[in-house]
Structure formats: C-alpha cells, structure tokens
Amino acid sequence: MKSSSLQLRKISLIEYLLGIQDEKTFDKIESSIQKSLKSIKPVDIVFSKNELVERAEFSNIQIKKRHVLSQKELETQSKNW
C-alpha cells in the first residue's frame, strides 16, 4: 500500500471519529483501538525511511515550539499507559 493512500485513510478515519456524537459508539471504538495497540509488539512496528524522516521533522518542529515535556511530566503521564 502506498504511503499517500494510507495517509488518506487515516484522515478519513479521523474525520469519521470527529463526527461521532454517541459516546457509547466512541467508547467501543476507543476500546477496540486500545486492545489492538496492546497486542502490537515493538518489533511489529516498521517505518519506511520517509516515515522516519517525517517523524523526525515533526519532532524538531515541536521542540522549536517548545511543545515538550520534562522527564518528570513524562513519567507521570506514562503511568497511565
């Protein structure tokens, strides 16, 4: 699958999620996503070179905007993962 096709699918899914008004429906979708994420092992996550570059560029932008967390804030957040 081409990366651009995947990006379009992601955008479509986000738009769908934004349109959900029923909290029970959203809860079911959210629960399903969380279950799926728990089953993914780090070795299952593979990025293309372009994806890694995009992620690095995004991170650099966030750092320049000072959208960062301290170590303590990150540790507090990670307790809820």
Asked if 59 and 11 touch (Cβ cutoff 8 Å), the reply is no
Q: Position 76: which residue type?
A: T
Q: What is the pLDDT of residue 46?
A: 83
Contacts for 26 with CB less than 8 Å, ≥ 6 apart: 17, 20
Asked if 48 and 3 touch (Cβ cutoff 8 Å), the reply is yes
CA distance 48 to 54: 10
pLDDT along the chain (81 residues), means of 10: 79 94 94 87 80 93 91 86 73
Contacts for 68 with CB less than 8 Å, ≥ 6 apart: 62
